[in-house]
């Protein structure tokens, strides 16, 4: 059988621990036998980030913008304990944060749905994708404890030194205060990424905030979304038969619970943080959640939503065969290859990614699963397989 050809390489970012092992297995078992895989390889494993003073992460981000499509393995974000474990030169920043900052992108997360795992919300038939604005608000907030008998004000100082002041509160007793911000540029990028992604996947886009209470701050988000939509996307949405609408966050939550799913839900930073945990738990497992970073220029980086699965890795190092779920990492690969196929007009490659995804879902639906899904799947007969055997079952189905 001749292998499927690619024209432009993918940016391939390798990672750490258990997911680094799974990465090799996915390539060896379900990709290499079928595709003449073309990638530019960047080793973002922690030892190489340390050896290159993290230059490799920056290079990978730059190349992603140039080539347009990347696939990334989960990576360790070092903390003090990792510093000792890996004898690091310093505490390198999170690669995801570095890449996101460079590409200025928005992260979209969606559950991988299979018919034998019922979401806790019974109306959800199709995956709901959450787009979280990953800049500012309370995550970039500054806070202070306030002593009694204090006046708290917001002070803006212009380039000429001119001050404008807004009274927050006159405290008679003690209290707390917080200042937070966002920028038009970041909100516009967020809106653009969401609208690009909605067109890409052909799904409606919802955006919600609390502009009834936050008449300036949240209202700015609402206005900028409306402006970007009208100026750049309204026609394309109409042609694609999809809609954009804004509603209050309370209303969005109520509607989401009653909806069949299948839409993109754009959330402000805090809402996205909270709602993506809600979505992941309601759909079963973090191991069944995909993640894609979409830059306003259209560059994309696909990855799994989970981490490096350290606990399984330590068992793997002791020689145990682990049953770690490779689905989210596998779908990161198919997502990236599908995007490459679309950009380079490679119908054979596109069809292959569809078949591979279908084979993976069908394998689970046939009762061959990894350990994390054992108690989630509603099937009479369940066969818990090691990661490797699970991937071999997919490959067998595919062949
Ligand atoms: P994690 O790797 O997501 O794993 C937490 C637990 O969730 C695992 O111990 C496992 O539970 C379960 N789990 C996650 N993915 C699974 C999978 N594919 N199959 C089966 N079970 C899975 O989170 P963590 O342990 O908090 O973080 C480990 C490392 O990952 C950290 O160094 C962190 O910095 C990094 N991290 C990276 C990313 C990223 O690169 N995007 C994201 C998050 C965390 P059981 O042990 O109960 O089976
Ligand atoms: Mg959270």
Q: Is the CB of 187 under 6 A from ligand 1?
A: no
- If you take atom 41 of ligand 1, which residue's CA is the nearest one? 74
Tell me, what DSSP letter sits at residue 324?
A: -
Contact present, 293 and 103 (Cβ < 8 Å): yes
C-alpha distances in Å from residue 239, one per residue of 164, 199, 235, 242: 46, 10, 6, 8
Residue 349 and residue 221 in one domain? no
- If you take atom 42 of ligand 1, which residue's CA is the nearest one? 307
Residue 284: predicted pLDDT:
79
Residue 328: predicted pLDDT:
96
Kindly state the tokens that stand for 185: 């540029």
Orientation of helix 347-365 relative to helix 327-344, angle to 10°: 160
Ligand nearest to the CA of 311: 1
Residue 22 and residue 103 in one domain? yes
Residue 342: predicted pLDDT:
94
Residue 285: predicted pLDDT:
81
Question: Which parts of the chain fold into alpha helices (H)?
Answer: 17-26, 46-51, 55-67, 80-85, 95-103, 184-201, 217-228, 234-240, 249-258, 269-282, 310-317, 327-344, 347-365, 387-398
**Has residue 315 been placed in a domain?**
yes
- What's the CA gap between 309 and 220, in Å, rounded? 39
**Has residue 240 been placed in a domain?**
yes
**Has residue 275 been placed in a domain?**
yes
Q: Which residues are within 5 Å of ligand 2 (an ion), measured at CB?
A: 273, 277
Q: Is the CB of 94 under 6 A from ligand 1?
A: no
**Has residue 370 been placed in a domain?**
no
**Has residue 381 been placed in a domain?**
no
Residue 99 and residue 2 in one domain? yes
Determine the residue of 280, 290, 305, 306 to mutate for testing ligand 1's pocket, defined as the one with the most ligand atoms within 8 A of the Cβ atom: 306
Point out the domain boundary residue: 249, 283, 317. Answer: 283
Residue 92 and residue 12 in one domain? yes
Residue 240 and residue 127 in one domain? yes
**Has residue 367 been placed in a domain?**
no
**Has residue 374 been placed in a domain?**
no
- What's the CA gap between 99 and 63, in Å, rounded? 11
C-alpha distances in Å from residue 78, one per residue of 19, 91, 104: 16, 6, 22
pLDDT in tens, the chain (399 residues): 689 999 999 999 999 999 999 999 999 999 999 999 999 999 999 999 999 999 999 999 999 999 999 999 999 999 999 999 999 999 999 999 899 888 888 899 999 999 999 889 999 999 999 999 988 898 888 999 999 999 999 999 999 999 999 999 999 999 999 999 999 999 999 999 999 999 989 999 999 999 999 999 999 999 999 999 999 999 999 999 999 999 999 999 999 999 999 999 999 999 998 898 889 888 878 889 999 998 888 899 999 999 999 999 999 999 999 999 999 999 999 999 999 999 999 999 999 999 999 999 999 999 999 999 998 999 999 999 999 999 999 999 998
Residue 183: predicted pLDDT:
96
Residue 61 and residue 122 in one domain? no
Q: Please state the φ and ψ torsions of residue 291, each to the nearest 5 degrees.
A: -150, 135
**Has residue 384 been placed in a domain?**
no
Residue-range definition of the domain harbouring residue 24: 1-109+300-355
Point out the domain boundary residue: 236, 252, 283. Answer: 283
CATH number, position 230: 3.90.190
Q: Is the CB of 279 under 6 A from ligand 1?
A: no
Residue 238 and residue 169 in one domain? no
Residue 129 and residue 61 in one domain? no
Point out the domain boundary residue: 251, 283, 315. Answer: 283
Residue 272 and residue 340 in one domain? no
Determine the residue of 291, 309, 360 to mutate for testing ligand 1's pocket, defined as the one with the most ligand atoms within 8 A of the Cβ atom: 309
Q: How many domains does the chain have?
A: 3
Residue 189 and residue 233 in one domain? yes
Q: Is the CB of 363 under 6 A from ligand 1?
A: no
Residue 127 and residue 273 in one domain? yes
Check the CA dihedral 85-88-90-91 and report its sign: negative
Residue 18 and residue 79 in one domain? yes
Kindly state the tokens that stand for 255: 């509607």
Ligand nearest to the CA of 134: 2
């Amino acid at each position: 059988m001749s292998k499927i050809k690619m024209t432009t390489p993918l940016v391939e970012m390798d990672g750490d621990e258990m997911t680094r092992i799974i990465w090799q297995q996915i390539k060896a078992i379900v990709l290499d036998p079928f595709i003449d895989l073309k990638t530019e390889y960047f080793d973002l494993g922690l030892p190489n980030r340390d050896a290159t003073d993290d230059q490799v992460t920056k290079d990978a981000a730059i190349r992603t913008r140039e080539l347009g499509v990347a696939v990334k393995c989960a990576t360790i974000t070092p903390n003090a304990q990792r510093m000792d474990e890996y004898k690091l030169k310093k505490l390198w920043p999170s690669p995801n944060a570095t890449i996101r900052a460079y590409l200025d992108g928005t992260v979209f997360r969606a559950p991988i749905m299979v018919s034998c795992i019922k979401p806790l919300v019974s109306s959800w038939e199709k995956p709901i994708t959450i787009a979280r604005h990953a800049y500012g608000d309370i995550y970039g907030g500054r806070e202070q404890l306030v002593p009694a008998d204090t006046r708290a004000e917001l002070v803006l100082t212009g380039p000429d030194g001119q001050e404008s002041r807004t009274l927050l509160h006159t405290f008679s007793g003690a209290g707390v205060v917080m200042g937070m911000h966002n920028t038009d540029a970041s909100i516009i990028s967020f809106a653009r990424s969401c609208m690009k992604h909605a067109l890409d996947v052909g799904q409606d886009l919802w955006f919600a905030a609390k502009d009834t209470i936050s008449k300036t701050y949240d209202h700015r988000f609402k206005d900028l979304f409306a402006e970007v939509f009208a100026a750049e996307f309204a026609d394309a949405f109409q042609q694609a038969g999809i809609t954009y609408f804004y509603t209050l966050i309370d209303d969005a939550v109520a509607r989401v619970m009653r909806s069949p799913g299948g839409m993109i839900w754009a959330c402000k930073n805090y809402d996205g943080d909270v709602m993506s945990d809600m979505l992941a738990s309601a759909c079963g497992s973090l191991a069944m959640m995909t993640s894609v970073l979409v830059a306003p220029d259209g560059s994309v980086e696909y990855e799994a939503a989970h981490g490096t699965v350290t606990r399984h890795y330590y068992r793997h190092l002791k020689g145990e065969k682990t049953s770690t779920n490779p689905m989210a990492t596998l779908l990161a690969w198919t997502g990236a290859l599908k995007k490459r196929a679309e950009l380079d007009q490679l119908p054979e490659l596109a069809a292959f990614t569809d078949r591979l995804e279908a084979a993976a879902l069908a394998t689970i639906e046939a009762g061959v699963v990894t350990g994390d899904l054992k108690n989630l799947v509603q099937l009479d007969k369940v066969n818990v397989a090691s990661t490797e055997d699970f991937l071999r079952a997919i490959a067998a189905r595919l062949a």
